[in-house]
Structure 1
């Protein structure tokens, strides 16, 4: 038996610049995001089955004779990539509801990375975070045709708090966020996350965003510049509130990416939080629902919580680890 544990993630800056149509042709020379892994996880258990059948358990329960019969598309393609064709059980659990796709925490990519890690380990193979991320991209983008970027797969594979850069030659650099003493902890403590109560099918938003990348390249260039500036300047004791201010500015840009990124509920939550003392924030993921992340100085946090008391707050810490094997026997 093998069990993998893979974090979810919160993307702070640069979302949209991780789409291939942007970073493969960017005048900036790359796309870049600033992303943090969260102590909320996807767990994959893999076990040898007594017979030659394949059993897959998630919100559904499948028992089939061949890989091609597996209906869960990500797990099916992970089995194919790792060359496992029979006699196995794959069980998927998570710290968020399995029906919680569309909440903006990269649960699909965490599943892809986590199941690949578990299946490789089951075969006695160690694979690097880079390989896990690349194989997850192969599944989600190339095999399943999802119109998404590549930041999520890297963020959940590597974990921690990093700036990722995506280059036209396909290379990805991973640079840890380094701050002055206690600054990272202060930033972590100043980030508050609230659930909008809405989930959404992000495919239409992502389809529109993907189809208009060339037209919006100027805005994406600006997001690259903001991300670079945050990485190089903001993690100092006298500059950390710059994170909140730039989140607010970047959110105004993101709302122009596609119809449905924001809505009345999100706009009202954002207005209330800003009025109560949040410096800035954003919707996590493609938009349209899921979670809102705010940067709020400590002295204003009680006021923001009161303003958003009708919405569920989800507390979190930054998880320093990426996808890892927590049990193998």
Structure 2
């Protein structure tokens, strides 16, 4: 039997960073995000040999391991091993031989939530394989615990829930890791207008979000008033953008996006750099109304808002730089898994 799964990546529209502890524990966080048609993928194949074969194209790990109830976390394919260890432990699964293959549509460090989406994707494959009783909330919570607590990887909570639920979501983050996901029903013409107004550009430089997130956490813990006030404004931008989005007011969306980026840069020194600033300068000169780096900052993808009639001019200007424009569309579906039996294969 073969199990496959896929989970979408996301664009953070507003409020990103307010989902990171300790800020979310003290003040509560609000995030507005939406999934796009870029995905992470996982395949699990049952094999007769008593071994676990890992083919992780996203982390460049291609190794076999003796069958065991726990795989050592050694920096190689940590996301796969973290999920496997937790599933076997929590659900008392009897180990059996299998091969697991993972890959994704965007580079690690892209700012689109690739790592968290991958954890959710791997979880979905194991959930389907072992028929585990986990809904979207339970899957998201478990993915968060594996990534942030078991593997000790820095980050917030929004990415796991975005990957599991899919679509446009207005998320609330409270103390004790309580998360409430409010799906937004956006009219089709608004989604079309938003897609026509956004250019997604990859800077060509991946980045590690850990340093930026750790600095953000430290600023909150130490009571840095400027950084905390900036995060308050970022959280408020999620509220403002929700109303603008529901009304289809793209000019307001562009203004809110720009203010959010201005406040984001106050959160940590590494959020921006000369490369990012150069891209922004080129984009604004070509007609971009505003923009923000997706995710924690420092590199990866930048999302620009532009008048649709000037979109080609902006794309052409960005095309002269070292990165590339990534076509995309918004998607409604969240992570899911399915089974393939040998008799079903063509």
Structure 1 vs Structure 2 CA RMSD:
1.6
- TM-score normalised per structure 1: 0.93
Q: May I ask how many residue pairs the two structures share in their alignment? A: 322
The match for 1:105 is 112
Does the CA-based 8 Å contact 1:117-1:127 persist in structure 2? Answer: no
Query: Structure 1: how far apart are the matches of 2:51 and 2:316?
Result: 53
Does the CA-based 8 Å contact 1:184-1:235 persist in structure 2? Answer: no
Give 5+ residue unaligned stretches, structure 2: 342-346
Q: Deviations over 1:65-88 (max 9, x none)?
A: 133246421111211221153412
The match for 2:299 is 289
Query: Structure 2: how far apart are the matches of 1:107 and 1:180?
Result: 27
Could you say what secondary structure the match of 2:99 adopts? strand
Could you say what secondary structure the match of 1:127 adopts? coil
The match for 1:24 is 25
Matched, 1:278 2:281: no
Deviation beyond 6 Å, 4+ runs, structure 1: none
Give 1:123 shift: 0.7
Counterpart pick for 1:33 among 27, 31, 34: 31
Query: Structure 2: how far apart are the matches of 1:326 and 1:254?
Result: 39
Give 1:168 shift: 2.1
Matches within 5 A, 1:1-329: 1-26=2-27, 30-58=28-56, 59-65=60-66, 66=68, 67-69=70-72, 71-83=76-88, 84=93, 85-96=95-106, 100-180=107-187, 182-213=189-220, 214-215=223-224, 216-237=227-248, 239-310=249-320, 311-329=323-341
Query: Structure 2: how far apart are the matches of 1:50 and 1:107?
Result: 31
Does the CA-based 8 Å contact 1:75-1:112 persist in structure 2? Answer: yes
Query: Structure 2: how far apart are the matches of 1:293 and 1:244?
Result: 11
Give 1:169 shift: 4.5
Query: Structure 2: how far apart are the matches of 1:230 and 1:88?
Result: 45
Summarize the Cα distance change of 1:180–1:7 in structure 2 as closer, same or farther, 3 Å threshold. Answer: closer
Query: Structure 2: how far apart are the matches of 1:16 and 1:296?
Result: 24
Give 5+ residue unaligned stretches, structure 1: none
Structure 1 residues 194-203 or 171-180, which shifts more?
171-180
- More helix by percentage: 2
Could you say what secondary structure the match of 1:20 adopts? coil
Query: Structure 2: how far apart are the matches of 1:236 and 1:207?
Result: 36
Q: Deviations over 1:173-199 (max 9, x none)?
A: 222233456112211221110110111
